[in-house]
Structure 1
Amino acid sequence: MTTLVTDSREIAMPTGVLRVDVAPGPFALDALLGFGARANARRGFLFVSKVLGKHWPSRPAAMRALHAALAAQLPADLPGPLVFVGLAETAVGLGQGVFDAHLAGDGAQEALFLHTTRYRMDGVPLIEFTEAHSHAPRQFLHLPVDATLRELFLRARTLVLVDDEASTGNTFRNLAAACRALNPALAHVHVVTLANFMGSGAAAELGRDIGLPVTLGAALQGSYAFEAGDAPPQAPPAQIVGAAGSLPVGGAFGRTGLAHRLTVPSSIVAALASSVQPGESVLVLGTGEFMHAPFVLACALEDRGIDVAVQSTTRSPILQWGAIGSRLAFADNYGEGVANYLYNVRPGQYAHVFICHETPLDNSQQDGLHALAAQLGARLIHFRSEHHVE
């Protein structure tokens, strides 16, 4: 079957030439994606999403609309319970947003959310798998610590895997196989992506390889080809698993499971909103994998009529070119000793910047957050738990 193409692009970048063909759909290419270049021998390009709140400052309302649209694409007859898994780092917020939208639209069906992580949690059973083209290829999925949530995971019938972009589908194959080994009751896999570049036969191919029926949902579908040119010097590793002195990470925000929509204390929303004068702009900035709680905060501020964007720092090294107009580098606040970055945000661009973080500040590893806050004139907001925010 020939795919109807409504938009074709050829993008010459420092690392090669990218050709993209996009099929008709509810979202225009330029509304969802820009293009970036990476110092990565495996993959010298990057699709820079404008609606994920990661490498580009995004409007909460546009993100909510995307989450609702992708949740609405879930087949109505999926066998429950459902387990949603958002893939780190970029799709943690997308996965949790689609999960929240599903609960808001279909609260009758049991559902669990987990997100994968680049960090090990001490004493918590985990699944390890790989994302081959990533700068940080090793991923972990920790099992729920809470007995009720773990029981829900082990009797789930549908696995909903959420990532920002799909090309080969290998990450989905690896993770689905690992989950099936733990839960043989799984009967269906639904894959959610912002952009699906796997081709028209992808569902059938994934289904054969995974051994279960597979359905797909995406905001944009198409194909691409990349002709690599002279690569710039390879970027340093973006993952050092088990680095000495690494900080413990918690499961309160999705690493060990959530069965409800995440909230932010109304007192925090009110206090931050009261500091913003009419007409002032605000950036709510998450850190690394800590994306969804900042998004929820940004939504609450937007609902009060505040001009707000939401974004997150990242460990992904991207060249300053194309959709990446600026780049700030600073020390990692998770204790791995790798560089972290903030893209498309310049000092003084926003009247207020609220940096939201899950890692403690009473540790020498946190100097990176203090340095970033100093550059941006930002306030640091520590989320100790869903209900305890400082």
Structure 2
Amino acid sequence: MDDAADDGWLWEALGLTAEVTEDVTGAGLRGMIGLALRRNPRRAHLLVSRVLGKHLPVRPEVALGAGTALADWARASSAVGRAGGAPFVLGYCETATALGHAVADGFADADYLHTTRRAVAGMRSELELAEAHSHAVHHWLLPADRRLLTDPRPLLLVDDELSTGNTALGTIRALHALAPRPAYTVAALLDARPAAARTAFDELADELGVPVDVVSLVSATVAVPPDIADRARALRARHAPPAPGGLAGAGPDGGSTGAGSTDTGLTDGGTGTVSWVRPAWPAELPDGGRHGWTPRHRRLLDEVVAGLAASVAARLVEPGGRTLVLGTEELMYTPMRLAAALGRATGGETRYQSTTRSPVHPLDVPGYAIRCALEFPAPDDPSRASQVYNVPARRARTGDPSPASRASVGDASVDPYDDIVVVVDDGVDAAAPAVGEGPALAGLVEALRRCAPVTVVTLPSFVPEGAR
């Protein structure tokens, strides 16, 4: 049985049940998400999106298409869609930054901004948000143009998943106090709120006197047992993480148990080559939506992404082979667009995903979403850890990958890659205690090059004029 359809054992072991109430896609709940165990004392489990391009590798067209579908559904069935005109689109870091971009792409003349957890020297946050359940609680709004927050356009908030909706409710209250708007809609790939949390949005609409609603591609009521933390703890103890070899794994305490087998057959003593690309990049084009993203920025990226893909393709060891394009934490949309363009340029099998702050326990078990893990110092703040999942260690080019490496996870299989392209920006977290003049890439590159030859693409980190 395909792993994507064989995760019922984990749902049962955790005592989770789900009742789907709406499915716009027809894919079903299990077609949209997998399931994994968190390493987070606040939350036991993680619903892992199969279409987002964060924890799991996907075809970039799938992730971009999910954003388009969500934009279409919001336009057709939400309060913001009924209000007409171009909404202001706000995405949540780090998981939904690219999804928010893709949703904004679906509205002509929509401006976009995403929250950020990176402190930027010289900039004051216009709004601080808190997610009590998150592994990284605080994030901020740092628009280059404050009018994004005060222009009274309809507001479309974008997240990959709603578990309680509390963050969205708090955001709407705060922004309405700053500048009232005629309508608010929260758009998510998955709405998994319990019944009591759903009524809170109706209550907020009555309180503010404006429409406040939620649209999603899949809506389901997920029942969580009170002892789920104990169940998850027992599962982690019972299922040891994968040993170094066919699949790289993280140890029980979250540290990497090794990036993979020493018989990789690659160059330089078992590791892949590393090449570097620093493209000519328009000064007026941001690397993403941390400080705002306008239709003009969208057009500029459309103009340059094919050339960037050609530059990257020239560095690949096997241009027509299996390539992973890897974004880094909040930097997701531009790498996703690069992945789509690279696939068109090379004709090869191109997948996309991103590194993440989210700590997940890997298990090399059929039906489990996160089969392997690499952990390394975060490039913009080496004092904390970052992870990437389901990037397996590379076997010898003349040999076969281990049987475990062939396991199917969602759209993409956990097979070795011929090339890995990692996209970073040259900014650092101003609040980090261990940063220098630029991103600290050694840990990330060293982990990845044991899996495949690596091409590092460094984009200039956009800094608004007033903060320079």
TM > 0.5 fold call: yes
How far apart, CA to CA, are the structure 1 residues paired with 2:461 and 2:124?
21
| Corresponding position of 1:139 | 139
Which of 331, 334, 343 matches 2:380? 334
Which of 215, 219, 227 matches 2:217? 219
| Corresponding position of 1:56 | 56
Once the two structures are TM-superposed, the CA of residue 10 in structure 1 deviates from its matched residue by 5.6
Once the two structures are TM-superposed, the CA of residue 131 in structure 1 deviates from its matched residue by 1.0
Once the two structures are TM-superposed, the CA of residue 23 in structure 1 deviates from its matched residue by 3.1
How far apart, CA to CA, are the structure 1 residues paired with 2:306 and 2:417?
23
Is 2:70 the counterpart of 1:29? no
Report matched runs for 1:1-390 at 5 Å.
Answer: 11-12=9-10, 16-25=14-23, 26=25, 27-75=27-75, 76-102=81-107, 107=108, 110-126=109-125, 127-142=127-142, 144-146=143-145, 150-184=146-180, 186-198=181-193, 205-209=200-204, 211=208, 212-227=210-225, 228-230=228-230, 232=233, 252-260=287-295, 261=298, 262-263=301-302, 264-275=304-315, 277=318, 279-304=320-345, 305-321=347-363, 322-335=368-381, 337-348=383-394, 349-359=416-426, 363=438, 365-376=440-451, 377-384=453-460
8 Å contact from structure 1 (residues 326, 343) kept in 2: yes
Give the letter aligned to residue 52 of structure 2.
Answer: L
- In the alignment of these two chains, the number of paired residues is 356
How far apart, CA to CA, are the structure 1 residues paired with 2:147 and 2:222?
41
Q: Say which SS state the counterpart of residue 48 (structure 2) adopts.
A: strand
Q: Say which SS state the counterpart of residue 66 (structure 1) adopts.
A: helix
TM-score (norm 2): 0.70
8 Å contact from structure 2 (residues 194, 223) kept in 1: no
How far apart, CA to CA, are the structure 1 residues paired with 2:171 and 2:446?
36
| 1:148-189 deviations in Å (ceiling 9; x for gaps) | xx33442132111111111211010111122122222x1111
Distance change in 2, residues 1:318/1:268 (3 Å):
same
Gaps of 5+ in 1: 1-6, 237-249
Give the letter aligned to residue 140 of structure 1.
Answer: W
Q: Which moved more, 1:264-273 or 1:64-73?
A: 264-273
8 Å contact from structure 1 (residues 283, 309) kept in 2: yes
| 1:272-300 deviations in Å (ceiling 9; x for gaps) | 23455464111000011110110000111
8 Å contact from structure 2 (residues 35, 46) kept in 1: yes
Once the two structures are TM-superposed, the CA of residue 69 in structure 1 deviates from its matched residue by 0.9
Distance change in 2, residues 1:313/1:14 (3 Å):
farther
- Which has the larger helix fraction? 2
Give the letter aligned to residue 159 of structure 1.
Answer: L
Distance change in 2, residues 1:23/1:95 (3 Å):
same
How far apart, CA to CA, are the structure 1 residues paired with 2:17 and 2:151?
43
| Corresponding position of 1:247 | none
How far apart, CA to CA, are the structure 2 residues paired with 1:136 and 1:202?
22
| 1:67-122 deviations in Å (ceiling 9; x for gaps) | 111010123422444111111111111111111122xxxx2xx4210011112223
How far apart, CA to CA, are the structure 1 residues paired with 2:45 and 2:223?
11
Q: Say which SS state the counterpart of residue 368 (structure 1) adopts.
A: helix
8 Å contact from structure 2 (residues 162, 190) kept in 1: yes
Give the letter aligned to residue 310 of structure 2.
Answer: A
Q: Which has the larger radius of gyration?
A: 2
Distance change in 2, residues 1:96/1:371 (3 Å):
same
8 Å contact from structure 1 (residues 14, 37) kept in 2: no
How far apart, CA to CA, are the structure 2 residues paired with 1:194 and 1:364?
32
Distance change in 2, residues 1:15/1:201 (3 Å):
closer
Q: Which moved more, 1:335-344 or 1:13-22?
A: 13-22
8 Å contact from structure 1 (residues 373, 380) kept in 2: no
Give the letter aligned to residue 180 of structure 1.
Answer: H
Gaps of 5+ in 2: 76-80, 237-251, 255-284, 395-415, 428-435, 463-468
Q: Sequence identity, in percent?
A: 33
TM-score (norm 1): 0.83
Once the two structures are TM-superposed, the CA of residue 252 in structure 1 deviates from its matched residue by 4.3
Once the two structures are TM-superposed, the CA of residue 47 in structure 1 deviates from its matched residue by 0.4
8 Å contact from structure 1 (residues 203, 214) kept in 2: no
How far apart, CA to CA, are the structure 1 residues paired with 2:194 and 2:224?
16
Q: Which moved more, 1:261-270 or 1:282-291?
A: 261-270
Q: Say which SS state the counterpart of residue 391 (structure 2) adopts.
A: coil
Give the letter aligned to residue 457 of structure 2.
Answer: I
Q: Say which SS state the counterpart of residue 85 (structure 1) adopts.
A: strand
How far apart, CA to CA, are the structure 1 residues paired with 2:286 and 2:306?
22
Q: Say which SS state the counterpart of residue 221 (structure 2) adopts.
A: strand
8 Å contact from structure 1 (residues 96, 292) kept in 2: yes
How far apart, CA to CA, are the structure 2 residues paired with 1:13 and 1:327?
21
8 Å contact from structure 2 (residues 112, 294) kept in 1: yes
